[in-house]
Structure 1
């Protein structure tokens, strides 16, 4: 948001960019990016960072905030951006930092089902597809590799991501190392 600087003792001579941002943030809190995907959860939107003003004794002429939006394959990013621009009005200028597509492979794909079979001995319950709402480098790599089937597969617990006490058990790391080796060999044989 852009405002107009003025002395803090004369705020009526300025336009407070932080107030403009506060109004926009209220609108963002209730903005719906789009309909949920049949397999994925509802798209999410989160304001993760904000900064504004130069000092305490002047009216701030600029405020910047960053919004993280997680979408699904059924949503068009250009439409979301246009709808958000319309909802926020002309007091907010939007610029895109990163715009990457959601990643989704067919669960029935031969390679994907093979990976499930390899993973099954490591789990007490049947392995089934799950959708996770976090970023993966696959959104960059898959188009460059011709869009092969993709599985996000690691030894950690998704609920631990970005937690203060995040950890991964060493036994799980060793199991993952063995599993990855088997999958690499299988991929070479199946090609």
Structure 2
């Protein structure tokens, strides 16, 4: 892809290029990562790629400024959700302007943030910075925050950890200091098939799976007892989202699989609660199943996991908040981000970016021009502050 003709492209121009790349999580993001890497090289910014095991995806990590002192991470994910089955008014991979809005897949979630950060690079490299800026762009956030772990491993190896991180998920440029965590699990029940006329000779995997789900439903009720009114809903939630099982009505099914998730308040140990259900199913259900057919089993597999975010008080966080326009309106959200993982690794984190999450993940996703302007203005203030940076 050719670069815009001007030396220093605008956020909008960069966003048009980034939207053009089909980085749906099931696809490779390497073409877009290569574009970003070549763009950074134009400003003499070296970048490091951290590939996944298949080599078809990569994180990008780069630093601008001195590396021996703590700085700020500007973080975002490169992948987007699918467009299949959605009715778009225009090509989802071509940025289209209508009525002060820019439409395209990822325009809100979250390529507008990536574009704004890249548009700031010429300024960041034009003048000496007292504090470094780390660019951390990940893959596979939309399928469970999987790619960012490679980035965090690299940050863990630095002589000095960054002092703060901004994850630019769409928050309408309002700082988010808390969100729920999530654990996604798969339960696979192996029963024993038989003709439905002789059901006692079989082990019905669907019916045993239902009993596990009933236990999960009871756990969901228990989770509602612990509430935090800073969140909506104000309690941890649990739901089953997918189920598969059975081959024909006249065959006792020997297989059933279902996926469930728990979205937890900060301070709630989701894995402990899952372990309680696992122990119950092995104690209560397995003996009944294996009394008929010893090969029967119930297996649980963790699909993805990320921790909740509860931003710690820190001098750098306070300084970043002061750069945002008043009123700051600190808020929490129910959805998750990579922010909890950065904080878990010792980097105090804010979530703040252009656009609204309500516009993401659906047809005709958009970001408003006003939101882009607000983001550019914030990053300009950040650049000015970094030139005279201080932790106090």
TM-score range, shorter chain: 0.7 to 0.9
Corresponding position of 1:190: 390
Runs of 4+ in 1 over 4 A off after TM superposition: 37-40, 86-89, 163-166
**Structure with greater helix share of residues:** 1
Contact 1:44 1:69 in 2 (8 A): yes
Q: Hey, what's the Cα distance between the residues in 2 that align with 1:83 and 1:141?
A: 28
Shift of 1:143: 4.2
Give 1:68-83 correspondences, 5 Å limit.
68-83=261-276
Q: Hey, what's the Cα distance between the residues in 1 that align with 2:379 and 2:280?
A: 46
Contact 2:310 2:340 in 1 (8 A): no
Q: CA RMSD in A?
A: 2.9
Shift of 1:69: 0.9
Pair 181,85 (structure 1): closer, same or farther in 2 beyond 3 Å: farther
Q: Which has the higher contact order (CA 8 A, sep 6+)?
A: 2
Unaligned regions of 5+ residues in structure 1, if any? Answer: none
Contact 1:16 1:60 in 2 (8 A): yes
Corresponding position of 1:152: 351
Are 1:35 and 2:35 an aligned pair? Answer: no
Shift of 1:52: 1.6
Q: Hey, what's the Cα distance between the residues in 1 that align with 2:368 and 2:201?
A: 59
Contact 1:116 1:128 in 2 (8 A): no
Are 1:90 and 2:289 an aligned pair? Answer: no
Pair 171,76 (structure 1): closer, same or farther in 2 beyond 3 Å: same
From the CA coordinates, give the structure whose radius of gyration is larger.
2
Relative to the length of structure 1, the TM-score reads: 0.76
Shift of 1:131: 1.5
Corresponding position of 1:13: 201
Corresponding position of 1:178: 377
Are 1:3 and 2:219 an aligned pair? Answer: no
- The correspondence for 1:99, drawn from 305, 308, 321, is 305
Corresponding position of 1:138: 339
Aligned length: 184
Contact 1:37 1:74 in 2 (8 A): no
Are 1:24 and 2:219 an aligned pair? Answer: no
Contact 2:265 2:308 in 1 (8 A): yes
Q: Secondary structure at the match of 1:65?
A: strand
Unaligned regions of 5+ residues in structure 2, if any? Answer: 1-188, 287-297
**Structure with greater strand share of residues:** 2
Pair 112,9 (structure 1): closer, same or farther in 2 beyond 3 Å: same
Shift of 1:153: 0.7
Shift of 1:176: 1.8
Shift of 1:15: 1.5
